Structure 1
């Protein structure tokens, strides 16, 4: 009889998707944004993307070699981290600073906390925030080729008019991956159709942010202003590709909604009242730190209970 059973530890649910397959899906979904960034900013963007991905993969391989751990570079998570980091960088950034960012993302944010599944914040955004602090001038320099002015968000903060159609298409200054909302949404649709993400986090994030703008921006329900805020900066890229990171976002349905509310409120606070016109990166990593508490209060209670004896 014992030959009929195969006793093993959990989990017992089988699925066709694993980490490497999901990472490949994310890379596929990022291709439209990546291709547009290279077309928009030229060879400098391509070099930065390749250098950042290479630095992330090499950092993970070398770290695991030093500590005698099995190599995990074939799960493609380091590739995704490098690609996301590159898309959050200006094309004018010196390549060696991008390498530092890649090393920081993998070694400090990811591997020091145990590797994939253990990091408490999104590695790409953690590295971006580190670079913003360490190399502020280079990280806010968006002067390249045809784009010599301030970013749309900075222009709006100074009271200048912006072209929302250019922001939608991507004909504007910004980081490599944040300019074209159309390209980002194409990738988001791919992720949704493949079942990699759902709309709980990005949907709640966007709706909360819009409500925050209506209440506190002083513009009321100004469609042009709201559209410009949604299309400007890294909100769309962050909402669909980084806020939805499995490791650093809640697993419970209600937790995802609360997480999206936190993202929307923090982004609104940073953009309207902060010193910087952006704020998405800091909003996401701060919300990442709240995930344990969000999950603690949203984990469903067990069915039934037993009163303990005296």
Structure 2
């Protein structure tokens, strides 16, 4: 047997466990949920709870059927369910949230071996599945002020649907006020509209050392840069603040691209991932058929994460001893 020679310290140690990390993420998501309730009403809370319950039921059933260790206690399924709901519009029927969470847990996570083995962010995969399966239901957004039922499905007519800021700027060049984008008084997904609420959660995650700024900052800055370069009106005409504040860039920066499993292991790799995701996000926004590109951009970066890790390797703290 080869003998492993371990180099001298320092080595990274910590008291964080999967459950404590997931608990911190859930706490950090509370401000975005509260903002969603403020903007969209109690339906936002109902859909988040339904999505979380669906994710946990799917996780529990999978473990029971295949005789796996009970993983519900690590709270990862709970986080996935919450994330799925927060990146979907509140007007979507409740069963869309259930289907998206089920896909996230069963297909994107468990089929690849469970937590730590998935190559793509499960919540983003669940959203992508929902958008591909029911595009009319997942890309229709209600006007502000329209009362939403807590549970029952909403009939999406022209009288109740409204355009998101990204759709407005792409089709008519109209830019929503920065103040509305910052506080979240715009149509959109449950957890993506309020920048200030997302930042409050991000500060908590940073203070708890759950995430670092390498991937989020590089993602936001590169999105701003490429958003300015590839403007909707031509080269170097983009609005930097609108680019960052609109859509899901800020939420994706602090809650999606920081996922431990699908993010490069090194700081340099995380910066590269952030820059690549920023470029892809703006490319999809400006040139794609769909106004928003955050989910697809980050999923594409998830796919190339092993390649990034291969060429940007972490420092080795030990080596295998050779005979002689």
- Asked whether the two chains share a fold, i.e. TM above 0.5, the reply is yes
> Which is richer in strand?
2
**Structure 1 residues 116-135: aligned runs within 5 Å:** 116-135=115-134
The yes-or-no answer on 1:269 pairing with 2:283 is yes
The equivalent of 1:181 in structure 2 is 195
Counterpart CA distance in 2 for 1:230 and 1:111 is 33
1:244–1:300 distance in 2 versus 1, CA, 3 Å:
closer
1:305–1:72 distance in 2 versus 1, CA, 3 Å:
closer
**Structure 1 residues 212-291: aligned runs within 5 Å:** 212-217=226-231, 218=234, 220=236, 225-291=239-305
**Structure 1 residues 66-105: aligned runs within 5 Å:** 66-105=65-104
The equivalent of 1:4 in structure 2 is none
Shift of 1:146: 1.7
Q: CA RMSD in A?
A: 2.1
Question: Runs in 1 of length 4+ with deviation above 6 angstroms?
Answer: 303-306
Counterpart CA distance in 2 for 1:212 and 1:168 is 20
TM-score, structure 1 normalization: 0.90
The equivalent of 2:28 in structure 1 is 29
> Which is richer in helix?
1
Contact 2:51–2:97 under 8 Å retained in 1: yes
1:198–1:304 distance in 2 versus 1, CA, 3 Å:
closer
The yes-or-no answer on 1:293 pairing with 2:293 is no
Contact 2:39–2:144 under 8 Å retained in 1: no
1:273–1:52 distance in 2 versus 1, CA, 3 Å:
same
Deviations 1:10-67 (A, max 9, x none): xx97521100000001011111001111121112111111100000000000001000
Structure 2 residue runs without a partner (length 5+) = 1-10, 147-160
SS of the equivalent of 1:117 reads coil
Counterpart CA distance in 1 for 2:124 and 2:314 is 30
The equivalent of 2:39 in structure 1 is 40
Shift of 1:214: 2.3
Query: How many residues of Structure 1 are paired with residues of Structure 2 in the alignment?
Result: 295
Contact 1:41–1:144 under 8 Å retained in 2: no
